[in-house]
Chains A and B, each alone.
Chain A
């Protein structure tokens, strides 16, 4: 459905995106993961024809975006990072405008009503967009992208700035939309991509560093060697004992979390699993282990792992 081949975008001497290629099959939900400034938005802007590529090609539904932009755009619904809303219009006027701008041929009222129901904006239908909350504006933006029932939906960070309830709603909406559309979704939040997407492309500094299913990614990212534990026992003694663990790289004390319970972050050499060892040693001394969890990876850690670089010593 979407083919991107050797796409590059250069600003002056700097490449915002350099030589990226990927394809998306029909009906797939593709996550586009990367930190801010990685080139996600640039790629999406090139796909939608907002900016042109310096070199390379992109096609949507078999139509080249550069050669035949108007035809290609008919197949795309785009929600940019900042929803392109006219604040001086009501939701109704805005959707009517977008409807005619996109030359949609579906029955107008029924189609707009269906979309409003889908993204739950019926109750603000007559209000000025400028008076709506961020969450509603985002949904009006999604509604705009859905107009004309395009084959491909391109959503640039659709959940940024929303509250947790709205984030879940939007994620569910995207999952629902994925049944009938091909979706590309960008995010800098790992869990979001894992929750919604069937495939993930990780991009950093304008290059693709990984391409696979979320499961592939998570196995690449499991980190049993980074643990956070809570122990009920004298802080000094526990610390001394933990410091003698095998394969230890670093141990830090996080202070008292509950009365008499202290937290420690432990990092050991990659590929080692010392969970049993910790449990056995603590039970020998009758210091109850109150909690043990693997340390959540930061996105930087993931990138470092994916790009095969050595882990940095420091913790976040």
Chain B
């Protein structure tokens, strides 16, 4: 698992993808930090984090698009699948590599706390809560992206499909207004990543949300393993 992780993590920085991801992420969080905090003389990081929800969903497909699709296209999966390694460690190794790059990106927020502490005492609990929230939300979404990447040979198709899922997740909160049935609304609200993510942005660590995100991650990792296994058996 460690070898797969290391290779995958390094490959983000052999190509431009890792740097593009980090710079886009830092640019937007920096921009929001400037607009919401520095320019408006506000020490509350909550609006920055809620805005980053959308940005995270938009850039995570960059991280996940090539994870498995590229191996299929380049036939390097023949090396991976004929080595004495379990599918579990292959998939989880790749997953953790993407998660680690994402983790690096959200660490930028600690910097904002440090900047704020020059002017006032920042609410560290809100920052920690946000970091956890972003992390678990990302963990769930990266698993979805990894799963989509296992379905196709093309990075582009993987990226587009993952974007589509991002949009659905972003728009999900808006559609509740259109449904008259309360049952349907319940389902949509239950599925909504944003509803689960929101408490973190105000510093509430919601365990049920953590369990939700981790379950989503586990389900999609499991499905990814099944996809790879099915390919062998078909």
Chain A residues packing against B (C-beta within 8 Å) = 11, 45, 48-52, 70-71, 73-74, 76, 78, 80, 82, 84-89, 93, 97-98, 100-103, 144
Q: In chain B, residues 92-106, which have Cβ atoms closer than 8 Å to a Cβ of chain A?
A: none
Say yes or no: A87 contacts B233, CB within 8 Å: no
Once A49-B81, A70-B85, A76-B82 are accepted as A-B contacts, the answer to whether A101 and B4 lie under 8 Å apart by CB is yes
Instruction: Classify the secondary structure of B's interface with A.
Output: helix
From 55 to 74 in chain B, residues with beta carbon under 8 angstroms from any chain A beta carbon are 74
Within 8 A of A (CB), among B38-92: 74-86
6 shortest interchain CB distances as A-B pairs: A84-B79, A100-B3, A73-B84, A48-B82, A80-B78, A88-B14
Are A97 and B3 in contact, CB atoms less than 8 angstroms apart? yes
Choose among A50, A70, A82 the residue that contacts B86 (Cβ–Cβ < 8 A).
A70
CB of B120 within 8 Å of the partner chain: no
Instruction: Verify B7–A97 contact, CB threshold 8 A.
Output: yes
Which residue in chain A gives the minimum CB-CB distance to B85? A101
A98-B83, A103-B85 known; 15 other A-B pairs, CB under 8 Å? A45-B78, A48-B82, A50-B81, A50-B232, A70-B84, A82-B75, A84-B77, A84-B79, A86-B11, A88-B14, A88-B15, A93-B7, A93-B10, A98-B79, A103-B84
How far, in Å, is B113 (CB) from chain A's closest CB? Answer: 35
How many chain B residues have a CB neighbour from A under 8 Å?
Answer: 26
Q: Are B75 and A84 in contact (CB under 8 A)?
A: yes
Identify the closest chain A residue to B15 (Cβ): A88
**Is the CB of B191 closer than 8 A to any CB of chain A?**
no
Q: Is B2 an interface residue (CB 8 A)?
A: yes
Nearest Cβ in chain A — how far from B69, in angstroms?
14
* Chain B residues positioned under 8 Å from A49 (CB to CB): 81-82, 232
